[in-house]
Amino acid sequence: MSDELMTIRQMCDAFGVTPRTLRFYEARELIFPQRRGQHRLYDRRDRARLTLILRGKRFGFSLEQIRQLLELYEPGSRNETQIAATITIARERLADMERQYAELREAIADLAEQINDAETRLSDATHSKRSG
Protein backbone atom coordinates (compact mmCIF):
# COMPACT_ATOMS: atom_id res chain seq x y z
CA MET A 1 0.00 0.00 0.00
CA SER A 2 1.14 3.48 -0.82
CA ASP A 3 1.43 4.56 2.78
CA GLU A 4 4.24 6.88 1.99
CA LEU A 5 3.51 8.60 -1.32
CA MET A 6 0.18 9.77 -2.70
CA THR A 7 -0.87 11.13 -6.05
CA ILE A 8 -2.64 14.42 -6.36
CA ARG A 9 -5.97 12.65 -6.80
CA GLN A 10 -5.49 10.56 -3.69
CA MET A 11 -4.68 13.72 -1.81
CA CYS A 12 -7.79 15.43 -3.11
CA ASP A 13 -9.99 12.51 -2.12
CA ALA A 14 -8.35 12.29 1.28
CA PHE A 15 -8.61 15.98 2.11
CA GLY A 16 -11.61 17.11 0.14
CA VAL A 17 -9.79 19.64 -1.97
CA THR A 18 -9.24 20.05 -5.71
CA PRO A 19 -6.02 19.60 -7.68
CA ARG A 20 -6.15 23.32 -8.37
CA THR A 21 -6.02 23.99 -4.66
CA LEU A 22 -2.98 21.76 -4.10
CA ARG A 23 -1.11 23.32 -7.01
CA PHE A 24 -2.07 26.73 -5.74
CA TYR A 25 -0.73 25.99 -2.28
CA GLU A 26 2.45 24.75 -3.88
CA ALA A 27 2.79 27.93 -5.92
CA ARG A 28 2.40 29.87 -2.67
CA GLU A 29 5.10 27.67 -1.14
CA LEU A 30 2.95 26.03 1.48
CA ILE A 31 3.69 22.47 0.37
CA PHE A 32 6.56 20.96 -1.61
CA PRO A 33 5.63 17.63 -3.19
CA GLN A 34 8.38 15.70 -4.92
CA ARG A 35 8.21 14.92 -8.59
CA ARG A 36 8.31 11.59 -10.38
CA GLY A 37 8.88 12.80 -13.89
CA GLN A 38 6.38 15.61 -14.12
CA HIS A 39 3.91 14.15 -11.67
CA ARG A 40 3.60 15.33 -8.10
CA LEU A 41 3.93 12.94 -5.20
CA TYR A 42 2.90 13.88 -1.70
CA ASP A 43 4.50 12.32 1.38
CA ARG A 44 3.65 12.33 5.07
CA ARG A 45 5.19 15.72 5.57
CA ASP A 46 3.05 17.24 2.81
CA ARG A 47 -0.03 15.69 4.36
CA ALA A 48 0.82 17.04 7.79
CA ARG A 49 1.31 20.49 6.34
CA LEU A 50 -1.93 20.33 4.42
CA THR A 51 -3.77 19.37 7.59
CA LEU A 52 -2.36 22.44 9.28
CA ILE A 53 -3.17 24.62 6.29
CA LEU A 54 -6.81 23.58 6.25
CA ARG A 55 -7.07 24.07 9.98
CA GLY A 56 -5.54 27.50 9.76
CA LYS A 57 -8.03 28.40 7.07
CA ARG A 58 -10.92 27.44 9.29
CA PHE A 59 -9.69 30.00 11.77
CA GLY A 60 -9.64 32.68 9.15
CA PHE A 61 -5.90 32.93 8.64
CA SER A 62 -4.61 33.95 5.25
CA LEU A 63 -2.42 31.58 3.31
CA GLU A 64 0.52 33.87 3.90
CA GLN A 65 -0.02 33.82 7.66
CA ILE A 66 -0.29 30.06 7.52
CA ARG A 67 2.90 29.83 5.48
CA GLN A 68 4.73 31.75 8.16
CA LEU A 69 3.35 29.51 10.87
CA LEU A 70 4.34 26.39 8.99
CA GLU A 71 7.95 27.41 9.30
CA LEU A 72 7.56 26.85 13.02
CA TYR A 73 6.72 23.23 12.38
CA GLU A 74 9.87 22.69 10.34
CA PRO A 75 12.86 21.73 12.46
CA GLY A 76 14.73 22.77 9.37
CA SER A 77 18.18 24.18 9.50
CA ARG A 78 17.55 27.87 9.82
CA ASN A 79 19.51 30.41 11.71
CA GLU A 80 18.68 31.83 15.11
CA THR A 81 17.45 35.12 13.74
CA GLN A 82 14.93 33.37 11.53
CA ILE A 83 13.78 31.07 14.30
CA ALA A 84 13.35 34.03 16.63
CA ALA A 85 11.36 35.91 13.99
CA THR A 86 9.13 32.90 13.41
CA ILE A 87 8.54 32.57 17.13
CA THR A 88 7.57 36.23 17.33
CA ILE A 89 5.05 35.82 14.55
CA ALA A 90 3.71 32.65 16.08
CA ARG A 91 3.22 34.36 19.42
CA GLU A 92 1.14 37.03 17.70
CA ARG A 93 -1.00 34.39 16.01
CA LEU A 94 -1.38 32.61 19.32
CA ALA A 95 -2.56 35.84 20.92
CA ASP A 96 -5.01 36.27 18.04
CA MET A 97 -6.35 32.80 18.63
CA GLU A 98 -6.69 33.31 22.36
CA ARG A 99 -8.60 36.51 21.82
CA GLN A 100 -10.78 34.79 19.28
CA TYR A 101 -11.32 31.93 21.70
CA ALA A 102 -12.53 34.26 24.43
CA GLU A 103 -14.71 36.26 22.11
CA LEU A 104 -16.14 33.13 20.59
CA ARG A 105 -17.27 31.99 24.00
CA GLU A 106 -19.18 35.22 24.47
CA ALA A 107 -20.63 35.11 21.00
CA ILE A 108 -21.83 31.57 21.50
CA ALA A 109 -23.61 32.50 24.72
CA ASP A 110 -25.07 35.55 23.02
CA LEU A 111 -26.35 33.67 20.01
CA ALA A 112 -27.77 30.89 22.16
CA GLU A 113 -29.71 33.50 24.10
CA GLN A 114 -31.06 35.08 20.94
CA ILE A 115 -32.17 31.70 19.68
CA ASN A 116 -33.93 31.11 22.94
CA ASP A 117 -35.70 34.45 22.71
CA ALA A 118 -36.75 33.76 19.16
CA GLU A 119 -38.03 30.34 20.15
CA THR A 120 -40.09 32.01 22.83
CA ARG A 121 -41.50 34.46 20.32
CA LEU A 122 -42.30 31.61 17.99
CA SER A 123 -43.97 29.68 20.75
CA ASP A 124 -46.01 32.70 21.79
CA ALA A 125 -47.08 33.33 18.24
CA THR A 126 -48.22 29.74 17.90
CA HIS A 127 -50.21 29.90 21.11
CA SER A 128 -51.84 33.20 20.33
CA LYS A 129 -52.83 31.73 17.00
CA ARG A 130 -54.37 28.77 18.76
CA SER A 131 -56.28 30.99 21.16
CA GLY A 132 -57.20 33.57 18.55
- Candidates 45, 94, 127, 130: give the one binding a second copy (CB under 8 A): 94
> Helix, strand or coil for residue 68?
helix
Q: Work out what residue 45 binds among DNA, a second copy, none; the CB cut-off runs from 5 to 8 Å by kind.
A: none
Across 73-108, b (16+ Cβ under 10 Å) vs e yields eeeeeeeeeeeeebeeeeeebeeeeeeeeeeeeeee
Contact status: 48 vs a second copy (CB under 8 A): no
Contact status: 18 vs a second copy (CB under 8 A): no
Contact status: 9 vs a second copy (CB under 8 A): no
Q: How far is the CB of 76 from a second copy (least distance, A)?
A: 10
91 close to 70: Cβ distance less than 8 angstroms: no
Taking the C-alpha atoms of 36, 41, 44 and 46 in order, what is their torsion angle to the nearest 10 degrees?
Answer: 120
Can you give the binding site for a second copy, defined by CB under 8 A?
55, 58-60, 69, 72-73, 75, 80, 83-84, 86-87, 90-91, 93-94, 97-98, 100-101, 103-105, 107-108, 111-112, 114-115, 118-119, 121-122, 125-126, 129
